[in-house]
Amino acid sequence: MQDREPEGTGNELDEEDEWQLYASAGYASSELEAEEKDSEEDKPGEIWFDGDDFDSERSTVNWDSPPCPAPLGIAHVIKIGVCNHCLIRISGFRSRGSGPDSGAAIREEALLRDRELQSKITQDYCPLCENLFEDIENIVDRLFDTLSDTDFSTMQFGIHLPKDLLQEEDRIRSKYGAPGSYHLKGAIVESIHKRIRELDKKVDFVKEKPDVMVLVDGLTLRVDVDVRPIFLYGRYRKLSRGIPQTRWPCRACRGRALGCESCEGTGLQYLDSVQDLIGEPIREALGAEDTSFHGMGREDIDVRCLGSGRPFVLEVKRPSRRKLPVEDLVEMVKINAPGKVEVDNLKWCTRTKINEVKQSRSEKTYMIRFRAEGIDDNEIAEQSILSLEGQVIDQETPKRVSHRRAAKTRRRKITSIDKVSFEGEEVEITLRCEAGTYVKELVHSDEGRTTPSVQSVLGKDCEVVRLDVLEIHAD
Ligand SMILES: [Zn+2]
Ligand SMILES: [Zn+2]
Protein backbone atom coordinates (compact mmCIF):
# COMPACT_ATOMS: atom_id res chain seq x y z
CA MET A 1 0.00 0.00 0.00
CA GLN A 2 1.28 3.40 -0.85
CA ASP A 3 1.79 6.09 1.71
CA ARG A 4 -1.21 8.34 1.32
CA GLU A 5 0.30 11.27 3.13
CA PRO A 6 1.30 13.84 0.60
CA GLU A 7 4.87 14.96 0.97
CA GLY A 8 5.74 18.32 2.38
CA THR A 9 2.43 18.91 4.14
CA GLY A 10 2.61 20.87 7.34
CA ASN A 11 5.51 22.96 6.13
CA GLU A 12 3.41 25.85 4.94
CA LEU A 13 3.35 27.74 8.25
CA ASP A 14 6.57 28.99 9.66
CA GLU A 15 7.94 27.21 12.65
CA GLU A 16 7.19 29.94 15.15
CA ASP A 17 3.47 29.98 14.31
CA GLU A 18 3.28 26.25 14.67
CA TRP A 19 5.00 26.16 17.98
CA GLN A 20 2.61 28.78 19.27
CA LEU A 21 -0.41 26.88 18.09
CA TYR A 22 0.79 23.69 19.67
CA ALA A 23 1.69 25.39 22.93
CA SER A 24 -1.72 27.04 23.17
CA ALA A 25 -3.41 23.69 22.81
CA GLY A 26 -3.37 23.30 26.59
CA TYR A 27 -7.16 23.46 26.79
CA ALA A 28 -7.24 19.99 25.40
CA SER A 29 -5.34 18.38 28.24
CA SER A 30 -8.34 17.90 30.51
CA GLU A 31 -10.18 16.28 27.60
CA LEU A 32 -7.26 14.00 27.17
CA GLU A 33 -7.34 12.77 30.73
CA ALA A 34 -11.04 12.02 30.55
CA GLU A 35 -10.39 10.24 27.31
CA GLU A 36 -7.80 7.94 28.79
CA LYS A 37 -10.01 7.01 31.70
CA ASP A 38 -12.84 6.18 29.27
CA SER A 39 -10.82 3.91 27.12
CA GLU A 40 -9.54 2.03 30.12
CA GLU A 41 -13.02 1.37 31.35
CA ASP A 42 -14.63 0.04 28.20
CA LYS A 43 -11.68 -2.19 27.31
CA PRO A 44 -12.36 -2.02 23.58
CA GLY A 45 -9.83 -4.73 22.81
CA GLU A 46 -12.19 -7.53 23.75
CA ILE A 47 -15.20 -6.97 21.53
CA TRP A 48 -14.14 -9.19 18.62
CA PHE A 49 -12.59 -12.56 18.28
CA ASP A 50 -10.17 -12.74 15.38
CA GLY A 51 -7.63 -10.53 17.06
CA ASP A 52 -5.16 -9.54 14.39
CA ASP A 53 -4.42 -6.26 16.12
CA PHE A 54 -1.06 -4.96 17.10
CA ASP A 55 0.47 -1.89 18.55
CA SER A 56 3.50 -0.18 17.24
CA GLU A 57 5.88 2.07 19.10
CA ARG A 58 4.74 5.65 19.23
CA SER A 59 6.97 7.67 17.00
CA THR A 60 8.63 10.81 18.22
CA VAL A 61 6.78 14.06 17.78
CA ASN A 62 7.13 15.70 14.43
CA TRP A 63 7.01 19.42 15.16
CA ASP A 64 6.03 20.21 11.60
CA SER A 65 2.75 18.45 12.14
CA PRO A 66 2.36 17.65 15.84
CA PRO A 67 -0.12 15.08 17.05
CA CYS A 68 -3.74 15.96 17.77
CA PRO A 69 -5.28 17.62 19.70
CA ALA A 70 -2.91 20.41 18.63
CA PRO A 71 -4.77 22.50 16.05
CA LEU A 72 -1.93 21.96 13.60
CA GLY A 73 -2.25 18.25 14.10
CA ILE A 74 -5.95 18.41 13.39
CA ALA A 75 -5.29 20.57 10.33
CA HIS A 76 -2.76 18.01 9.13
CA VAL A 77 -5.05 15.00 9.39
CA ILE A 78 -7.80 16.96 7.63
CA LYS A 79 -5.32 17.74 4.85
CA ILE A 80 -4.46 14.09 4.29
CA GLY A 81 -8.13 13.25 3.83
CA VAL A 82 -9.19 11.81 7.19
CA CYS A 83 -12.99 11.32 7.31
CA ASN A 84 -15.27 12.72 10.02
CA HIS A 85 -15.59 9.28 11.68
CA CYS A 86 -11.84 8.98 12.01
CA LEU A 87 -11.40 12.65 12.84
CA ILE A 88 -13.43 12.43 16.04
CA ARG A 89 -11.72 9.13 16.83
CA ILE A 90 -8.13 10.41 16.68
CA SER A 91 -8.57 14.14 17.46
CA GLY A 92 -8.52 13.74 21.23
CA PHE A 93 -12.03 15.17 21.55
CA ARG A 94 -13.93 11.98 21.86
CA SER A 95 -15.83 13.25 24.87
CA ARG A 96 -17.68 15.45 22.37
CA GLY A 97 -19.32 12.37 20.92
CA SER A 98 -18.35 9.51 18.72
CA GLY A 99 -20.35 9.98 15.52
CA PRO A 100 -19.44 11.68 12.26
CA ASP A 101 -21.38 14.81 13.34
CA SER A 102 -18.90 15.41 16.14
CA GLY A 103 -16.12 14.94 13.60
CA ALA A 104 -17.80 17.43 11.29
CA ALA A 105 -17.92 20.00 14.09
CA ILE A 106 -14.19 19.62 14.71
CA ARG A 107 -13.54 19.97 10.99
CA GLU A 108 -15.61 23.15 10.88
CA GLU A 109 -13.65 24.67 13.73
CA ALA A 110 -10.41 23.82 11.98
CA LEU A 111 -11.65 25.40 8.74
CA LEU A 112 -12.53 28.54 10.68
CA ARG A 113 -9.02 28.64 12.16
CA ASP A 114 -7.42 28.24 8.75
CA ARG A 115 -9.42 29.63 5.85
CA GLU A 116 -7.04 28.02 3.37
CA LEU A 117 -7.37 24.54 4.82
CA GLN A 118 -10.19 23.36 2.55
CA SER A 119 -8.09 23.98 -0.54
CA LYS A 120 -5.14 22.06 0.94
CA ILE A 121 -7.03 18.78 1.31
CA THR A 122 -5.21 16.35 -0.92
CA GLN A 123 -7.81 13.61 -1.27
CA ASP A 124 -11.33 12.70 -0.21
CA TYR A 125 -10.33 9.13 0.47
CA CYS A 126 -9.70 8.51 4.17
CA PRO A 127 -6.22 6.98 4.63
CA LEU A 128 -7.20 5.65 8.05
CA CYS A 129 -10.32 3.63 7.24
CA GLU A 130 -10.45 3.61 3.42
CA ASN A 131 -13.96 5.03 3.87
CA LEU A 132 -15.10 1.85 5.56
CA PHE A 133 -17.32 3.76 7.98
CA GLU A 134 -19.51 4.68 5.02
CA ASP A 135 -20.24 0.97 4.59
CA ILE A 136 -21.52 0.38 8.11
CA GLU A 137 -25.20 0.49 7.12
CA ASN A 138 -24.51 -1.73 4.17
CA ILE A 139 -22.67 -4.26 6.36
CA VAL A 140 -25.46 -4.31 8.93
CA ASP A 141 -28.09 -4.73 6.17
CA ARG A 142 -26.19 -7.67 4.70
CA LEU A 143 -25.85 -9.16 8.15
CA PHE A 144 -29.57 -9.12 8.82
CA ASP A 145 -30.33 -10.29 5.28
CA THR A 146 -28.14 -13.33 5.84
CA LEU A 147 -29.81 -13.99 9.19
CA SER A 148 -33.37 -13.17 8.14
CA ASP A 149 -34.55 -16.76 8.61
CA THR A 150 -32.57 -17.46 11.75
CA ASP A 151 -33.57 -17.06 15.40
CA PHE A 152 -30.82 -15.68 17.59
CA SER A 153 -30.52 -13.50 20.64
CA THR A 154 -26.74 -13.39 21.14
CA MET A 155 -24.04 -12.58 18.64
CA GLN A 156 -20.27 -12.65 18.61
CA PHE A 157 -19.05 -10.18 16.06
CA GLY A 158 -15.72 -9.94 14.33
CA ILE A 159 -14.36 -7.98 11.44
CA HIS A 160 -11.30 -8.83 9.46
CA LEU A 161 -9.32 -5.91 8.12
CA PRO A 162 -6.37 -6.20 5.74
CA LYS A 163 -3.11 -6.18 7.66
CA ASP A 164 -1.58 -3.44 5.53
CA LEU A 165 -4.56 -1.18 6.22
CA LEU A 166 -4.22 -1.78 9.95
CA GLN A 167 -0.50 -1.15 9.85
CA GLU A 168 -0.88 2.06 7.90
CA GLU A 169 -3.72 3.21 10.16
CA ASP A 170 -1.65 2.46 13.22
CA ARG A 171 1.31 4.34 11.82
CA ILE A 172 -0.67 7.48 10.99
CA ARG A 173 -2.66 7.39 14.23
CA SER A 174 0.51 6.92 16.31
CA LYS A 175 2.19 9.79 14.60
CA TYR A 176 -0.62 12.34 14.27
CA GLY A 177 -3.48 11.07 16.43
CA ALA A 178 -4.06 12.11 20.02
CA PRO A 179 -2.56 9.76 22.61
CA GLY A 180 -5.08 7.11 23.64
CA SER A 181 -7.04 7.32 20.39
CA TYR A 182 -9.38 4.45 19.76
CA HIS A 183 -8.03 2.08 17.14
CA LEU A 184 -9.81 1.43 13.87
CA LYS A 185 -11.13 -2.02 14.55
CA GLY A 186 -12.67 -1.15 17.89
CA ALA A 187 -14.25 1.95 16.40
CA ILE A 188 -15.76 0.03 13.51
CA VAL A 189 -17.13 -2.70 15.74
CA GLU A 190 -18.58 -0.02 18.00
CA SER A 191 -20.26 1.69 15.04
CA ILE A 192 -21.76 -1.59 13.94
CA HIS A 193 -23.12 -2.25 17.43
CA LYS A 194 -24.53 1.27 17.46
CA ARG A 195 -26.21 0.83 14.08
CA ILE A 196 -27.77 -2.46 15.17
CA ARG A 197 -29.11 -0.80 18.32
CA GLU A 198 -30.54 2.01 16.20
CA LEU A 199 -32.49 -0.58 14.22
CA ASP A 200 -33.92 -1.77 17.52
CA LYS A 201 -32.86 -5.37 16.97
CA LYS A 202 -32.98 -7.54 20.05
CA VAL A 203 -29.46 -8.87 20.16
CA ASP A 204 -26.83 -9.09 22.88
CA PHE A 205 -23.19 -8.97 21.92
CA VAL A 206 -21.21 -11.64 23.75
CA LYS A 207 -17.65 -12.88 23.81
CA GLU A 208 -18.45 -16.56 24.18
CA LYS A 209 -21.20 -19.08 23.54
CA PRO A 210 -23.10 -16.93 21.05
CA ASP A 211 -26.10 -18.13 19.06
CA VAL A 212 -24.43 -16.80 15.93
CA MET A 213 -20.86 -15.87 15.10
CA VAL A 214 -20.47 -13.22 12.45
CA LEU A 215 -17.28 -12.41 10.63
CA VAL A 216 -17.19 -9.55 8.16
CA ASP A 217 -14.41 -9.14 5.64
CA GLY A 218 -13.61 -5.44 5.62
CA LEU A 219 -12.17 -5.63 2.13
CA THR A 220 -14.98 -7.37 0.24
CA LEU A 221 -17.76 -6.72 2.81
CA ARG A 222 -18.52 -10.41 2.64
CA VAL A 223 -20.52 -11.51 5.69
CA ASP A 224 -19.91 -15.02 7.04
CA VAL A 225 -22.37 -16.32 9.57
CA ASP A 226 -21.81 -19.37 11.71
CA VAL A 227 -25.05 -20.43 13.37
CA ARG A 228 -23.93 -22.34 16.44
CA PRO A 229 -25.43 -25.75 17.19
CA ILE A 230 -27.87 -26.43 20.01
CA PHE A 231 -27.91 -29.52 22.18
CA LEU A 232 -30.60 -31.73 23.65
CA TYR A 233 -30.05 -34.29 26.38
CA GLY A 234 -32.45 -37.18 26.84
CA ARG A 235 -32.82 -40.95 27.22
CA TYR A 236 -34.06 -43.20 24.44
CA ARG A 237 -35.70 -46.57 24.46
CA LYS A 238 -35.22 -48.75 21.40
CA LEU A 239 -38.27 -50.96 21.23
CA SER A 240 -37.49 -52.79 18.03
CA ARG A 241 -34.53 -54.83 16.77
CA GLY A 242 -32.62 -54.17 13.57
CA ILE A 243 -32.04 -50.47 14.21
CA PRO A 244 -28.48 -49.12 14.52
CA GLN A 245 -27.90 -46.27 16.95
CA THR A 246 -26.36 -43.88 14.46
CA ARG A 247 -26.90 -43.35 10.76
CA TRP A 248 -25.14 -46.16 8.92
CA PRO A 249 -23.97 -45.38 5.38
CA CYS A 250 -24.52 -47.95 2.62
CA ARG A 251 -21.59 -50.39 2.39
CA ALA A 252 -21.66 -50.38 -1.40
CA CYS A 253 -21.69 -46.66 -2.13
CA ARG A 254 -20.61 -45.42 1.31
CA GLY A 255 -23.56 -43.07 1.33
CA ARG A 256 -22.08 -40.85 -1.34
CA ALA A 257 -24.16 -38.52 -3.47
CA LEU A 258 -27.46 -40.08 -4.46
CA GLY A 259 -26.88 -43.59 -3.21
CA CYS A 260 -26.76 -46.70 -5.38
CA GLU A 261 -28.88 -49.62 -6.49
CA SER A 262 -28.13 -51.70 -3.44
CA CYS A 263 -29.42 -49.00 -1.05
CA GLU A 264 -32.20 -47.90 -3.42
CA GLY A 265 -30.83 -44.40 -3.57
CA THR A 266 -30.98 -43.78 0.18
CA GLY A 267 -27.25 -43.99 0.80
CA LEU A 268 -28.07 -45.95 3.95
CA GLN A 269 -27.38 -49.53 4.94
CA TYR A 270 -30.33 -49.41 7.34
CA LEU A 271 -33.14 -47.03 6.59
CA ASP A 272 -33.85 -46.40 10.26
CA SER A 273 -31.44 -45.37 12.97
CA VAL A 274 -32.05 -44.12 16.48
CA GLN A 275 -30.26 -40.94 15.40
CA ASP A 276 -32.68 -40.20 12.57
CA LEU A 277 -35.84 -41.51 14.20
CA ILE A 278 -35.21 -39.00 16.99
CA GLY A 279 -33.18 -36.41 15.11
CA GLU A 280 -35.09 -35.99 11.86
CA PRO A 281 -38.40 -34.71 13.29
CA ILE A 282 -36.43 -32.41 15.60
CA ARG A 283 -34.18 -31.23 12.78
CA GLU A 284 -37.22 -30.44 10.68
CA ALA A 285 -39.06 -28.65 13.48
CA LEU A 286 -36.03 -26.47 14.18
CA GLY A 287 -35.23 -25.90 10.51
CA ALA A 288 -31.73 -27.26 11.06
CA GLU A 289 -29.17 -28.59 8.63
CA ASP A 290 -28.17 -31.88 10.22
CA THR A 291 -27.70 -33.70 13.52
CA SER A 292 -24.98 -35.58 15.37
CA PHE A 293 -25.80 -38.23 17.89
CA HIS A 294 -23.75 -38.92 21.01
CA GLY A 295 -24.89 -41.92 23.06
CA MET A 296 -23.70 -43.22 26.42
CA GLY A 297 -22.31 -46.32 24.75
CA ARG A 298 -24.40 -48.22 22.24
CA GLU A 299 -26.24 -51.48 21.90
CA ASP A 300 -25.86 -53.82 18.92
CA ILE A 301 -28.32 -53.45 16.05
CA ASP A 302 -30.24 -56.56 17.12
CA VAL A 303 -30.44 -55.53 20.79
CA ARG A 304 -33.32 -53.59 22.26
CA CYS A 305 -32.83 -50.97 24.95
CA LEU A 306 -35.68 -50.77 27.45
CA GLY A 307 -36.26 -49.55 31.00
CA SER A 308 -35.54 -45.88 31.50
CA GLY A 309 -33.49 -45.82 28.32
CA ARG A 310 -30.00 -44.86 27.23
CA PRO A 311 -28.72 -41.32 27.85
CA PHE A 312 -27.76 -39.38 24.73
CA VAL A 313 -27.01 -35.90 23.47
CA LEU A 314 -28.43 -34.78 20.14
CA GLU A 315 -26.48 -32.00 18.48
CA VAL A 316 -28.65 -29.94 16.14
CA LYS A 317 -26.55 -28.14 13.54
CA ARG A 318 -27.34 -24.70 12.10
CA PRO A 319 -30.86 -24.46 13.50
CA SER A 320 -33.17 -21.70 12.22
CA ARG A 321 -35.18 -21.86 15.42
CA ARG A 322 -33.64 -22.31 18.84
CA LYS A 323 -36.57 -22.35 21.21
CA LEU A 324 -39.34 -24.89 20.99
CA PRO A 325 -40.90 -26.54 24.03
CA VAL A 326 -39.18 -29.90 24.53
CA GLU A 327 -42.57 -31.52 25.16
CA ASP A 328 -43.48 -30.72 21.54
CA LEU A 329 -40.25 -32.31 20.32
CA VAL A 330 -40.87 -35.47 22.37
CA GLU A 331 -44.33 -35.68 20.83
CA MET A 332 -42.91 -35.31 17.31
CA VAL A 333 -40.49 -38.18 17.90
CA LYS A 334 -43.36 -40.29 19.22
CA ILE A 335 -45.40 -39.70 16.07
CA ASN A 336 -42.38 -40.28 13.82
CA ALA A 337 -41.21 -43.59 15.31
CA PRO A 338 -44.15 -45.53 16.77
CA GLY A 339 -43.07 -48.89 18.14
CA LYS A 340 -39.44 -48.17 17.28
CA VAL A 341 -38.01 -45.46 19.50
CA GLU A 342 -39.25 -43.41 22.44
CA VAL A 343 -37.65 -40.45 24.16
CA ASP A 344 -37.85 -39.38 27.80
CA ASN A 345 -36.42 -36.58 29.92
CA LEU A 346 -35.60 -34.38 26.97
CA LYS A 347 -34.01 -31.07 27.94
CA TRP A 348 -31.78 -28.39 26.47
CA CYS A 349 -28.12 -28.70 27.43
CA THR A 350 -24.70 -27.43 26.42
CA ARG A 351 -21.86 -29.05 24.52
CA THR A 352 -20.13 -30.09 27.77
CA LYS A 353 -22.88 -32.67 28.28
CA ILE A 354 -21.47 -34.68 25.36
CA ASN A 355 -18.28 -35.50 27.25
CA GLU A 356 -20.22 -36.20 30.40
CA VAL A 357 -22.36 -38.71 28.53
CA LYS A 358 -19.40 -40.20 26.64
CA GLN A 359 -17.24 -40.64 29.72
CA SER A 360 -19.86 -41.94 32.05
CA ARG A 361 -19.66 -45.69 32.73
CA SER A 362 -22.70 -47.33 34.22
CA GLU A 363 -23.62 -50.84 35.24
CA LYS A 364 -26.30 -52.39 33.09
CA THR A 365 -28.96 -55.02 33.56
CA TYR A 366 -29.57 -57.38 30.65
CA MET A 367 -32.06 -60.03 29.79
CA ILE A 368 -30.41 -62.63 27.56
CA ARG A 369 -32.00 -65.67 25.97
CA PHE A 370 -29.86 -68.49 24.61
CA ARG A 371 -30.11 -72.06 23.36
CA ALA A 372 -28.13 -74.78 25.17
CA GLU A 373 -28.47 -78.31 23.88
CA GLY A 374 -28.57 -81.38 26.14
CA ILE A 375 -29.28 -79.94 29.57
CA ASP A 376 -30.70 -82.88 31.60
CA ASP A 377 -31.09 -81.27 35.00
CA ASN A 378 -32.40 -77.68 35.09
CA GLU A 379 -31.68 -77.33 38.80
CA ILE A 380 -28.00 -78.25 38.43
CA ALA A 381 -27.78 -76.00 35.36
CA GLU A 382 -29.30 -73.10 37.30
CA GLN A 383 -26.78 -73.58 40.15
CA SER A 384 -23.91 -73.57 37.64
CA ILE A 385 -25.14 -70.34 36.06
CA LEU A 386 -25.68 -68.72 39.48
CA SER A 387 -22.09 -69.62 40.40
CA LEU A 388 -21.01 -66.80 38.04
CA GLU A 389 -22.65 -64.21 40.30
CA GLY A 390 -20.05 -61.87 41.82
CA GLN A 391 -17.26 -63.35 39.68
CA VAL A 392 -14.74 -61.32 37.74
CA ILE A 393 -14.40 -62.62 34.20
CA ASP A 394 -11.56 -62.15 31.69
CA GLN A 395 -12.62 -61.08 28.23
CA GLU A 396 -10.23 -60.93 25.32
CA THR A 397 -11.33 -58.51 22.63
CA PRO A 398 -14.16 -60.36 20.86
CA LYS A 399 -13.55 -61.66 17.36
CA ARG A 400 -16.51 -59.69 16.00
CA VAL A 401 -15.04 -56.34 17.02
CA SER A 402 -11.31 -57.16 16.72
CA HIS A 403 -11.10 -55.29 13.40
CA ARG A 404 -11.85 -51.99 15.13
CA ARG A 405 -10.71 -52.51 18.73
CA ALA A 406 -7.19 -53.12 20.02
CA ALA A 407 -6.57 -56.62 21.29
CA LYS A 408 -6.51 -56.69 25.06
CA THR A 409 -7.96 -58.55 27.98
CA ARG A 410 -10.63 -56.80 30.02
CA ARG A 411 -11.63 -57.81 33.53
CA ARG A 412 -15.31 -57.30 34.24
CA LYS A 413 -17.48 -58.15 37.20
CA ILE A 414 -20.84 -59.93 37.07
CA THR A 415 -22.59 -57.95 39.80
CA SER A 416 -25.66 -60.16 40.12
CA ILE A 417 -27.72 -62.79 38.38
CA ASP A 418 -31.32 -62.12 39.22
CA LYS A 419 -33.32 -64.68 37.31
CA VAL A 420 -32.79 -67.95 35.46
CA SER A 421 -35.63 -69.68 33.64
CA PHE A 422 -35.90 -72.60 31.23
CA GLU A 423 -38.21 -73.17 28.27
CA GLY A 424 -37.44 -76.27 26.22
CA GLU A 425 -33.86 -75.93 25.06
CA GLU A 426 -33.85 -72.20 25.69
CA VAL A 427 -32.62 -70.50 28.84
CA GLU A 428 -33.31 -66.91 29.86
CA ILE A 429 -31.24 -65.07 32.45
CA THR A 430 -31.41 -61.59 33.87
CA LEU A 431 -28.07 -60.27 35.04
CA ARG A 432 -26.42 -57.07 36.06
CA CYS A 433 -22.78 -56.41 35.17
CA GLU A 434 -20.08 -53.84 35.00
CA ALA A 435 -19.91 -51.26 32.21
CA GLY A 436 -18.16 -52.61 29.14
CA THR A 437 -18.96 -56.28 29.65
CA TYR A 438 -19.44 -58.18 26.37
CA VAL A 439 -22.62 -60.01 27.35
CA LYS A 440 -23.05 -62.20 24.27
CA GLU A 441 -19.47 -63.41 24.75
CA LEU A 442 -20.14 -64.02 28.41
CA VAL A 443 -22.74 -66.58 27.27
CA HIS A 444 -21.07 -68.33 24.30
CA SER A 445 -17.45 -67.73 25.44
CA ASP A 446 -16.28 -66.54 21.98
CA GLU A 447 -14.30 -69.76 21.46
CA GLY A 448 -12.80 -69.58 24.91
CA ARG A 449 -11.78 -65.90 24.77
CA THR A 450 -14.10 -65.16 27.70
CA THR A 451 -13.46 -67.15 30.90
CA PRO A 452 -15.35 -68.25 32.78
CA SER A 453 -18.55 -68.13 30.71
CA VAL A 454 -22.04 -69.56 30.84
CA GLN A 455 -20.89 -72.10 28.25
CA SER A 456 -17.90 -73.14 30.35
CA VAL A 457 -19.86 -73.59 33.59
CA LEU A 458 -22.65 -75.51 31.83
CA GLY A 459 -20.27 -77.58 29.72
CA LYS A 460 -22.70 -77.18 26.81
CA ASP A 461 -22.58 -75.19 23.58
CA CYS A 462 -24.60 -72.02 24.02
CA GLU A 463 -26.04 -69.89 21.24
CA VAL A 464 -27.52 -66.45 21.90
CA VAL A 465 -31.12 -66.05 20.71
CA ARG A 466 -31.78 -62.48 21.79
CA LEU A 467 -30.64 -59.77 24.11
CA ASP A 468 -32.30 -56.75 25.69
CA VAL A 469 -30.80 -54.00 27.79
CA LEU A 470 -33.28 -53.78 30.65
CA GLU A 471 -31.68 -50.90 32.50
CA ILE A 472 -28.73 -48.57 32.31
CA HIS A 473 -27.97 -47.58 35.87
CA ALA A 474 -27.00 -43.99 35.10
CA ASP A 475 -27.95 -41.11 37.38
ZN1 LIG B 1 -11.89 7.29 8.09
ZN1 LIG C 1 -25.65 -47.37 -1.68
247 CA to middle of ligand 2, Å? 13
Quick one: average pLDDT of 119-141? 90
Amino acid identity for residue 24 in this structure: S
Residue 269 covered by a domain: yes
Average pLDDT value over all residues in the chain: 84
The Cα–Cα gap between 161 and 53 comes to: 9
Structural domain of 25? 15-226
Q: Which residues of 18-55 are buried (b: 16+ CB within 10 A; e: fewer)?
A: beebbeebeebeebbeebeeebeeeebeebbeeeeeee
pLDDT band at residue 34 using 50, 70 and 90 as cut-offs? very low
**In this structure, which long-range contacts are made by residues 105-110, counting pairs with CB atoms below 8 Å and at least 24 apart in sequence?**
106/74, 107/78, 110/71, 110/74, 110/75, 110/78
Active site residue 300: yes
pLDDT band at residue 31 using 50, 70 and 90 as cut-offs? very low
pLDDT band at residue 64 using 50, 70 and 90 as cut-offs? low
Residues 271 and 404 in one domain: no
The Cα–Cα gap between 330 and 353 comes to: 19
Instruction: Among 226, 256, 276, identify where a domain stops.
Output: 226
CATH number for the domain including 434? 3.30.70.3190
**Confidence (pLDDT) at 22:** 35
Q: Summarize pLDDT for 390-417 with one digit per residue, the tens.
A: 999 999 999 888 888 888 999 999 999 9
pLDDT at 55 over 50: no
CATH number for the domain including 286? 3.30.70.2510
- DSSP β-bridge partners for residue 416: 432
Range with lowest mean pLDDT among 47-61, 108-122, 132-146, 179-193: 47-61
Residues 222 and 235 in one domain: no
CB 272 within 8 A of CB 435: no
**Confidence (pLDDT) at 39:** 39
> Who wins on pLDDT, 258 or 426?
426
9 CA to middle of ligand 1, Å? 19
Residue 466 covered by a domain: yes
Residues 342 and 375 in one domain: no
What CA–CA distances, in Å, run from 172 to 28, 91, 128? 20, 12, 7
* Ligand index nearest the alpha carbon of residue 87: 1
Q: Summarize pLDDT for 424-445 with one digit per residue, the tens.
A: 999 999 999 999 999 999 999 9
254 CA to middle of ligand 2, Å? 6
The Cα–Cα gap between 416 and 307 comes to: 18
**Confidence (pLDDT) at 11:** 39
The Cα–Cα gap between 234 and 277 comes to: 14
> Who wins on pLDDT, 373 or 382?
382
Residues 215 and 239 in one domain: no
Residue 251 covered by a domain: yes
Q: Nearest 5°: CA angle at 438, between 368 and 445? A: 80
* Ligand index nearest the alpha carbon of residue 253: 2
Q: Summarize pLDDT for 440-460 with one digit per residue, the tens.
A: 999 999 999 999 999 999 999
What CA–CA distances, in Å, run from 124 to 80, 81, 315? 8, 5, 51
**Could you tell me the maximum CA-CA distance found in the chain, to the nearest angstrom?**
120
Q: How far apart are the first and last CA of the chain?
A: 62
258 CA to middle of ligand 2, Å? 8
Residues 122 and 183 in one domain: yes
* Ligand index nearest the alpha carbon of residue 261: 2
Residues 136 and 195 in one domain: yes
pLDDT band at residue 71 using 50, 70 and 90 as cut-offs? confident
Residues 467 and 345 in one domain: no
Instruction: Among 171, 195, 226, identify where a domain stops.
Output: 226
pLDDT band at residue 63 using 50, 70 and 90 as cut-offs? low
* Ligand index nearest the alpha carbon of residue 270: 2
What CA–CA distances, in Å, run from 14 to 19, 25, 63? 9, 17, 11
The Cα–Cα gap between 303 and 465 comes to: 11
**Confidence (pLDDT) at 69:** 85
**Confidence (pLDDT) at 403:** 83
The Cα–Cα gap between 213 and 155 comes to: 6
**Confidence (pLDDT) at 54:** 39
* Ligand index nearest the alpha carbon of residue 271: 2
pLDDT at 20 over 50: no
* Ligand index nearest the alpha carbon of residue 172: 1
Helices first, then strands: H and E counts in the chain: 15, 14
> What are φ and ψ of residue 290, in 5° steps?
-165, 175
Quick one: average pLDDT of 310-337? 94
pLDDT band at residue 62 using 50, 70 and 90 as cut-offs? low
271 CA to middle of ligand 2, Å? 11
107 CA to middle of ligand 1, Å? 13
Residue 10 covered by a domain: no
What CA–CA distances, in Å, run from 52 to 5, 46, 85, 158? 24, 12, 22, 11
Instruction: Among 183, 198, 226, identify where a domain stops.
Output: 226
Kindly give the pairing relationship between strand 304-317 and strand 230-238: antiparallel
Of 299, 295, 302, residue with least CA distance to 270? 302
Residues 29 and 89 in one domain: yes
300, 302, 418, 461: the catalytic one is: 300
Which residues have C-beta within 8 Å of that of residue 342, sequence separation ≥ 6?
236, 237, 239, 309, 333, 334
Q: Please state whether the peptide bond connecting residue 244 to the residue before it is cis, i.e. omega within 30 degrees of 0.
A: no
155 CA to middle of ligand 1, Å? 26
Q: Summarize pLDDT for 326-377 with one digit per residue, the tens.
A: 999 999 999 999 999 999 999 999 999 999 999 988 999 999 999 998 898 9
**Confidence (pLDDT) at 44:** 41
Q: Which secondary-structure segment (H or E) carries 54? A: none
Quick one: average pLDDT of 41-47? 41
Residues 89 and 221 in one domain: yes
**Confidence (pLDDT) at 200:** 78
Residue 8 covered by a domain: no
Query: The dihedral of CA 240, 246, 250, 255: what is its sign?
Result: positive
289 CA to middle of ligand 2, Å? 22
* Ligand index nearest the alpha carbon of residue 262: 2
Of 196, 216, 191, 217, residue with least CA distance to 134? 191
> Who wins on pLDDT, 256 or 311?
311
Residue 219 covered by a domain: yes
3-state secondary structure of 118: helix
171 CA to middle of ligand 1, Å? 14
CB 445 within 8 A of CB 456: yes
Quick one: average pLDDT of 226-230? 96
Q: Please state whether the peptide bond connecting residue 319 to the residue before it is cis, i.e. omega within 30 degrees of 0.
A: no
Tell me how crowded residue 117 is: count the other CB atoms within 10 A of its CB: 17
Single pTM value for the model: 0.77
The Cα–Cα gap between 3 and 22 comes to: 25
130 CA to middle of ligand 1, Å? 6
pLDDT at 202 over 90: no
Residues 378 and 431 in one domain: yes
**Confidence (pLDDT) at 118:** 82
133 CA to middle of ligand 1, Å? 6
When divided into structural domains, the chain yields a total of: 3
244 CA to middle of ligand 2, Å? 17
